[in-house]
Structure 1
Amino acid sequence: MMSKFSSLSPAQQEAVLNGAALNPPKGYTSNFDDPPNREAATNAFFFLCLALATLAVFGRLYCRWILLKQYSLPDFLFIAGYALLIADIALVYRMAPVPVMFVHLWNIRQRDFIIYLRSVFITSEVYLFNITFIKVAILLDWIHIFMPRGTRNFLFWAASIAIFVNVGFYIGIIVANQVACTPYEYAWNKLIDGNCGRANTLDATVAAGAFNIVSDVVILLIPQRVVWKLHMPRQKKFGISIVFALGLLAVTTAILRFVSSLKHAKSPDFTYDFSEILITGCAELTCGILVGCVPSLPKVFASANMNGIKHKLSKSRLWSSFSSSQKRSSPRSMHSRPPSLELVPRGRAGLFHKLDYQATGFSESSTDSHIPVISGRIYQTTEFHTTETCGPSTFEH
């Protein structure tokens, strides 16, 4: 009947548009006015995802742009991903003039279902762009954090190949969805004459779900080998791995989305089953943002705590008198100051020369009587590399 919709009379067309999009099962009656749904619960979930993503993204930007004065491509990719997440949630919030989240298709009119399918088509493309931006940003972060400039090792090549594969795959899925149907409107309006013979969009959705799981696992594993080879205490290594373990949440949500895609592909109850895909997809995008941005939050909180402590101390008389005495007792001569770190910039990483105090002499005017006076010599230096980031930091002695 759908293929002959254009041949129906106006009254018959109106009857089809006002009828149920799916015949109800035996024993059920369509309820268009107030169907059972979970709109309130799903809206609360989407709000939670948006709140977590907002905290994570703005925390990262504050850390990198305000505290460290650093700007990088992943920052802007996360901003793009965050903006698309907002757009995705907004689309889901108003997918149709009637409630659709966990609403059975036989409780939705055909005219509302057409509007809903158009929103599904748009939000699916937004999701693909968003997941691409987020995954590329995370992989670029891995290269930035763990790779000194000019180095080409396993992590660099693994991350670079993963970026290439992810971008190529998702662009391919986006293009397939765009060219699948003729005419273009047939992608969401099955009442008009047309076909989707160029590509099977349901198969593309399932393929994207399987690919998400594999790529999430790869992104999670790429930095682990480097992390456990860092020269730092085992407890700190474990802490960094816990941060990366946030990626397990992304893998879990990707698996759940894949299962929902398989269920959706075999079910005629489109609206009810696609609701699960929308929820798990939003959770997956949020987890991806958390993986890339949460490592910045401890530095933000530490900065806030230090500023608060300094503010309180600055108001105390004890701190004021201590600062004044320090200023009066500090000679202005260069010879009275202990040696400090001398920085020789070299790209992102810096080359530092640390003077070992116990083997360094000062002039006779030095107020530090416990340090031996050995004029004009440095007996020992220690060279080390350090990189300051808003995420897991690297240190190589």
Structure 2
Amino acid sequence: MGAIQNLQPLAYAVASVTFFFGTITIFLRFYCRLLLLRTWGWDDWISVLIFLVSIGQQIILYMFLHYGCGLHIAVLDGYHGEQIIKWLFIEEVFYYCVHFVIKNAFLFFYLRLSPDKNFRLMVFLGFGTNAAIFVINVLMAFFQCVPMDEIFHPGTHPNAFCIEKLVLLIVPSILNIFQDLYILLLPIRTVWGLQMSLRRKIAVLSIIGFGASAVLVAALRLIPLFEMNSSPDLSFVLGKMVIVAAVEVQLAIVAVNLPSLKALWTKLTGGSSSGSGKGYSDQKGYKLSSMEPGRSKKKSKHSRGSITALEQGLSSTESEEELFRQTGTTFLAPGGIKVTKMVDVKMTDRLNGDSDIDEKQRYNGVSGSL
């Protein structure tokens, strides 16, 4: 069997299918946060930006294929070669923007997880390193050659100074992988220290850890990058890069949206993701805590049963998801949730040897608002 001569059909299929699934998770996130939970935070605004950069990334991948990526360089003319180089530079810069936005979405979500000062400090450190890596990568892209025209017309400026090609290809990817690992590992200690069952801890970490798949693909991306450094067949290698980039970016988008879809899963299954269908009567001693930004919470030394929002699930919205499950199909906005309990108390009086006196005290209208 001869070597593959055309990667374009496969590249078009992979790019289109992965974009479809990534976009579906974005819209499902909007549905859950806006209509089911009515809790919209900073990480959700970032998800809007993710949707926009995902569209931009998809357009660039299609432009690569339009100008011949996936075909061997020998069958392309000079015009197509110039266009590929131009779009390679655009993708180089835009790819860094995509990673910067997606990583920030993860970090803003982590701010919902716990009020612990040390944990939040590590999250803000993640914001700082993410911004620093983004700036370094963009500066390397724009100043890879002096004069800049050497990027688009290589070999036309004899006195041009350029960063070594392998450094330019590998260093930004390695920096992004390290940042991915930092974000992936950051919440593990916090989740593992919570007072919940081992099964639930594993479920929570599995959802958060889905991002490991994107990290793995990002590591595999190094293979075509090394090939780009050594192969003269740039257009064909970029066809492979289109496939890897499409899978990597859309997996990361699915990973960042997955925790927000728990409310939808709860609605479809009619139960809690933790595997418990019990109501509040089986959750004595616990109170629901919201970690929504801008809402102050006083912590009491004697509230032994109090758990954070993360212990109820993955974020502050978990409290609201649980209430959503308990109230069926009706979910009221914060402040409009009313819980009524009926308590029967039997009292016996034997002071005067009289017969038992039964008295029922009924308490109605116990209301709670979040």
Structure-2 residue corresponding to 1:92: 61
Letter in 1 for 2:360: V
- Structure 1 unaligned residues grouped into runs of 5+: 1-34, 307-340, 363-370, 377-385, 388-397
Deviations 1:234-272 (CA, angstroms, capped at 9, x unpaired): 211111122122122011101101222122222222122
Structure-2 residue corresponding to 1:161: 125
Q: From 105, 117, 123, give the equivalent of 1:152.
A: 117
- 8 Å CA contact 2:68–2:235 kept in 1: the answer is no
SS in 2 for 1:282: helix
Structure-1 residue corresponding to 2:19: 50
Rounded to whole Å, the distance in 1 between the matches of 2:90 and 2:14 is 21
Rg: which structure is higher? 1
Q: From 172, 175, 196, give the equivalent of 1:232.
A: 196
SS in 2 for 1:94: helix
Asked if 1:124 corresponds to 2:88, the answer is no
Structure 1 residue 304: deviation in Å? 5.4
- 8 Å CA contact 2:86–2:152 kept in 1: the answer is yes
Q: From 82, 99, 107, give the equivalent of 2:51.
A: 82
Structure 1 residue 116: deviation in Å? 0.9
- TM-score by length of structure 2 reads 0.70
1:377-396 matches, cutoff 5 A: none
Q: Percent identity?
A: 19
Q: From 151, 167, 180, give the equivalent of 1:216.
A: 180
Kindly tell me: are residues 141 and 343 of structure 1, through their superposed partners in 2, closer, same or farther at Cα, counting changes over 3 Å? closer
Kindly tell me: are residues 347 and 127 of structure 1, through their superposed partners in 2, closer, same or farther at Cα, counting changes over 3 Å? closer
Structure-2 residue corresponding to 1:115: 83
1:302-317 matches, cutoff 5 A: 302-303=266-267
Deviations 1:255-302 (CA, angstroms, capped at 9, x unpaired): 101222122222222122233233222222112111110122231243
Letter in 2 for 1:373: K
Rounded to whole Å, the distance in 2 between the matches of 1:220 and 1:344 is 25
Q: From 145, 149, 169, give the equivalent of 1:205.
A: 169
Kindly tell me: are residues 207 and 374 of structure 1, through their superposed partners in 2, closer, same or farther at Cα, counting changes over 3 Å? same
RMSD: 3.7
Q: From 138, 149, 159, give the equivalent of 2:106.
A: 138
Query: Greater strand share, 1 or 2?
Result: 1
Rounded to whole Å, the distance in 2 between the matches of 1:372 and 1:273 is 83
Kindly tell me: are residues 74 and 199 of structure 1, through their superposed partners in 2, closer, same or farther at Cα, counting changes over 3 Å? farther
- TM-score by length of structure 1 reads 0.66
Structure 1 residue 128: deviation in Å? 0.5
Rounded to whole Å, the distance in 1 between the matches of 2:247 and 2:65 is 22
Rounded to whole Å, the distance in 1 between the matches of 2:21 and 2:359 is 54
Rounded to whole Å, the distance in 2 between the matches of 1:273 and 1:99 is 11
Structure-2 residue corresponding to 1:261: 225
Letter in 2 for 1:111: Y
Q: From 11, 15, 28, give the equivalent of 1:59.
A: 28
Structure 1 residue 36: deviation in Å? 2.7
Structure-2 residue corresponding to 1:373: 360
SS in 1 for 2:117: coil
Kindly tell me: are residues 344 and 297 of structure 1, through their superposed partners in 2, closer, same or farther at Cα, counting changes over 3 Å? closer
- 8 Å CA contact 1:96–1:112 kept in 2: the answer is no
Residues paired across the two proteins, number: 300
SS in 1 for 2:145: coil
Rounded to whole Å, the distance in 1 between the matches of 2:226 and 2:78 is 24
Asked if 1:178 corresponds to 2:146, the answer is no
Kindly tell me: are residues 194 and 123 of structure 1, through their superposed partners in 2, closer, same or farther at Cα, counting changes over 3 Å? farther
SS in 2 for 1:168: helix
Kindly tell me: are residues 143 and 111 of structure 1, through their superposed partners in 2, closer, same or farther at Cα, counting changes over 3 Å? same
Structure 1 residue 212: deviation in Å? 2.2
